[in-house]
Structures are given as C-alpha cells and as structure tokens.
Structure 1
Amino acid sequence: MLSIDALTKTFGRNTAVDKVSFTVEKPAMIGIIGRSGAGKSTLLRMINRLTDASSGQIMFEGREVTGLKAAEKRAWQSDCAMIFQQFNLVPRMDVVSNVLHGTLNRRSTLATMFNLYPDADIHRAIEILDRLGIADHAPKRAEALSGGQQQRVAIARALMQDPKIVLADEPIASLDPMNAQLVMDDLRRIHEEDGRTVIANLHTLDTARRYCNRVIGMLHGRVVFDGTPEQLTTGVARDIYGADASFSEESTSTSIETLDRGTVRALREAEAAV
C-alpha cells in the first residue's frame, strides 16, 4: 500500500531524516515516537510532499510519489491529508467554511475566489462535524472554540478530502489530557471504521501504546525501532530516546484519562451545549 525506501532529507550539512525505510501493507494506526529533533515532522512533511526529499522514494499503490508535480502533486495531497499541531485553521472564518477548505484541491480558482461550495459539500461537512461531536459549533468562528474542538475541526477538514492516508503531526501536543483523549479516540475511529491508514507523530509512550497497532521509533533521523506496542518496553524506549538508566516514562506521559464511552458521550454533549 505505502512503501518508503531510503527516504532522506538534508539541510546543508545536517541530515534530518537518514535513509528511512518501512512498508505499510494494509490500513494501520501507526505512531512515530522519538525525542524532539528526531526527524518525525520532516518525515511526515516529505510523505505529504510539503517538503521535497533529498533522496529516496515514496510509492503508494504502485504510484511514485516523490516525483509528482503540479496537479498530480495536489491530487496526492488530497489522498494524503495532513493534520498539524497548531490546527492551521482560519481563526475568523466560521467552522464549516474551515472544513470546506478540505475541498480546495479539487475546486476551480473562480469558485475558490468567491467562496462558492456545492450544497452536497456543505451537507457533507456538517455530517463530518456531527460525527466528531461538534456540529453545533458549525456557524461559530474557529477562534471561539477550545483547542480540542479546533483540532477536531482540523480533523474534519482532513476528512473532507476523503483521504486514503491521514498524517497527524503531534496532534495532541498542545491539548489537555481530556481533549487529548477525545482527539486520539477520533483518529482511532477514523482508522477502524473508515479503513484509513493513520500515521501520527506522538511525543508520549502511553498514547502510542494505547492507540496504535504499530510503533516506529526514530533517533537522529533514523528508524531504530519498528514493532508492536507490546514490544515497546522501557528498555526499548530508553534506546529510542537515547537516554540512560535514569530515564522515566513519566516524563513522556500525557496522563490521558481512561474514560468510558458513557463519560466521553456526556463530555461531547456538554461541549455541544456551550
């Protein structure tokens, strides 16, 4: 499905990503972990083609991605949606319009200039927001929402692209534990219910173990671990983070609370009532 072969990115004399290779043969929920500067964000940006690789190859369903240009590159970026840590919404624009921006790659320049959207796209945007529990916030400005709600708007925008792959770059790094759980629950449901591959850069071990069925560890731009959450022992984590025996997993914990479905549903209903 997705094949990364010796993917490398250099900035002058510095190598941010060093000959990374891995294959995703079927839809999966993959967490990429590692300390700051390990190359995680650069790797995702290369996969999405926001950043060009210095060398190496990306293949998806038999299509060579690294050499795509113009319209073909934009088509790939629709198939491979990106979610950012800082949401990248238009703060003064209403929520549903932000979600509809997920269709920009397939709309004409004229329609984009005049902010014209087909009724079918508007209805679909509302349906996606409803699925994520924030449809009642559709007419509000994005800046009026909490951080967790804004991140779910960003997820809705990505789903408007109907992507085959969702890339999430530190999606919960700026969220409190409760909102972190809501966002990660949504990403996991997108993988399980839609059959989409989700690749998320995560800075915490507990989140990777809880939500991902595959974990990739990076250190100094290289893959140093690729396995199951069960194989991610404290010793392995110590190697991934380049730490000594004093390493404590608590320093990489989100303290995400384990809330049952009823509690999560009540939280979403409370949000909608605000």
Structure 2
Amino acid sequence: MLTFDRLTKRFKGNTAVDAVSLTFPKPAMIGIIGASGAGKSTLLRMVNRLSDATEGHVLFEGQDVTALRGGARRAWQGQCAMIFQQFNLVPRMDVVSNVLHGTLNRRSTLATMFNLYPREDIHRAIDILDRLGIAAQAPKRAEALSGGQQQRVAIARALMQDPKIILADEPIASLDPMNAQIVMDALRRIHDEDGRMVIANLHTLDTARRYCDRVIGMREGRVVFDGTPAQLTTGVARDIYGADAGFSEAATSTSIEALDDAGAMLRPAQAAI
C-alpha cells in the first residue's frame, strides 16, 4: 500500500534522512520514535510532499508520489492529511470554519475568497467535531480553546479531507498527560473505526507501545529499529536514542501514573535540600 524506497533528504551537505526503505502493506497505526534531529519530521514532510526528496521514492498504491506536480500533488496532499505539533489553526476564526478548511483543496477560488461552504459540509464538520467530543466548541474562536481541544480541531480538519493516510508530527508534544491520552485515543479510534493508516512521530516510548501496531526507530536519519511494541525493550530504546545505562523511560513518559511515580522518587531528594 505505502512504500518508501531509499528515501533520502539532504540539506546543504547534511543528510537528514538517509536511504530509508520501508513497506506498509495495509493500513496500520504506526509510531516513529527517535531523538530530536533523527529525521522523523523530515520523513513525514517528504511523504506529504511539503518537502521534496533528494533521492528515492514514495509509492502509494503503485503511484510514485515523489513525481507528482501541480494539481496531482495537491490531490495527493488531500489524500495524505498532516497534523502538526502546533495545530496550525487560524486563531481568530471560529472552530467550525477551521475544520472546513480541510475542504480547501476541492473548492473554487471564489468560494474560498468569500468563505462559502455547502450546508452538507457544515453539517459534516459538526458531526466530526461531535465524534471528537468538542461539538459544543464549534462557534468559539480557536484561540479560546485549550491545547488539547485545539489539537482535536486539527484532527477534525484532517478528517474533513477524508484522507487515506493521516500523518501526525509530534501531535502530543505540547500537551499535558491527560490531553495527550485524549488525542492519542482519538487517533487510535480513527484507525480502528475508519481503517485509515495513521503514522505518528512520537517522543515517548509508553505512547508508542500503548497505541501503535508497529514502531519505527530512527537515529541520525536512518531506520535502526522496525518491530512490534513488545520488541521495543529498554535496551532497544537506548540504542535508538544513543543513551547510556542511565536512560530512564519514566522521565519522558506521557502516562499520568508513570509521572506520579517519577515525582514520588524525586520528592524525598527535594525534601533533603
């Protein structure tokens, strides 16, 4: 279904993604992990065609995505929706209008200029917001919502595109543990209920293990791990992150319980200061 064939990206002599070859034969929930600068975001941007590959190919259902230009490229970006860490909403615009922006790739220039939407699209946008538990926020400005609510609006906007693939670039990096779980639950549910492929860049191991069917580990632009969540041991994680024996998963966990445990370990030391 989706194949990366020696996908490579160089920036002024520096290799950000180095000959990555992966095949995803069917829709799945896939997590990509690795330290900052490992090439995770650059990889997703090449898949979505926000960035062009230096070498290699992205193939989807037999089509060479890296060769698409003009309208064909925009059509692909409609099938391959992108969710960003910083939400990328229009802050002073109401929530439902932000969601309706997911239809821009199939609307006329005139309709876009005058903010005209078919009634059925408006109803569908509200239905998607309801599915994500935030329909009551539809008339509010996006800037009035919490970070977790804004990320769900961004997910709703992606669903308005009716994509085959959803790419999520660090979707919970700026969220507290409770909202992180709500957002990841939503992405997992979208995969399970809709059969869409979801590929998410993640920065915590517990999240990858809990939500993903397959985990890809990247280090210095290369894939150094490709396996199941059960195979993602602490030792494997040390190799992915280039860490020593002092590496602690709890320090980067999004689990409320793990964070509580970490806090309990810190408190006695703090009390002695």
TM-score of the superposition, structure 1-length normalised? 0.93
SS of corresponding position for 1:66: helix
Structure 1: give runs of 5+ residues left out of the alignment.
Answer: 259-274
Give the corresponding residue for 2:173. 173
How many Å apart are 1:13 and its aligned residue?
1.3
How many Å apart are 1:255 and its aligned residue?
2.4
SS of corresponding position for 2:139: coil
- Aligned mates of 2:251, 2:41 — CA distance in 1: 20
Give the corresponding residue for 2:218. 218
How many Å apart are 1:252 and its aligned residue?
2.3
Superposed CA offset, 1:7-65 (max 9, x none):
00000111000001101101100000000000000000000000000010000011110
Give the corresponding residue for 2:151. 151
- Aligned mates of 1:70, 1:251 — CA distance in 2: 45
Q: Does 1:47 align with 2:47?
A: yes
Residue identity opposite 1:14 in structure 2: N
Structure 2: give runs of 5+ residues left out of the alignment.
Answer: 259-273
Superposed CA offset, 1:199-246 (max 9, x none):
000000000000001000000000000000000001100000011111
Superposed CA offset, 1:134-182 (max 9, x none):
0010000000000000000000000000000000000000000000000
1:73/1:50 CA distance change after superposition, 3 Å: same
1:129/1:257 CA distance change after superposition, 3 Å: farther
Give the corresponding residue for 2:73. 73
Runs of 4+ in 1 over 4 A off after TM superposition: none
- Aligned mates of 2:112, 2:257 — CA distance in 1: 41
SS of corresponding position for 1:43: helix
Give the corresponding residue for 2:133. 133
Give the total of aligned pairs.
258
8 Å contact from structure 1 (residues 180, 256) kept in 2: no
TM-score of the superposition, structure 2-length normalised? 0.93
Aligned-residue identity in percent = 82
How many Å apart are 1:248 and its aligned residue?
1.3
Give the corresponding residue for 1:61. 61
Tell which deviates more after alignment, 127-136 or 247-256: 247-256
How many Å apart are 1:257 and its aligned residue?
5.4
Aligned-pair RMSD on alpha carbons? Answer: 0.9
Q: Does 1:206 align with 2:206?
A: yes
Decide which structure has the larger Cα Rg and report it.
2
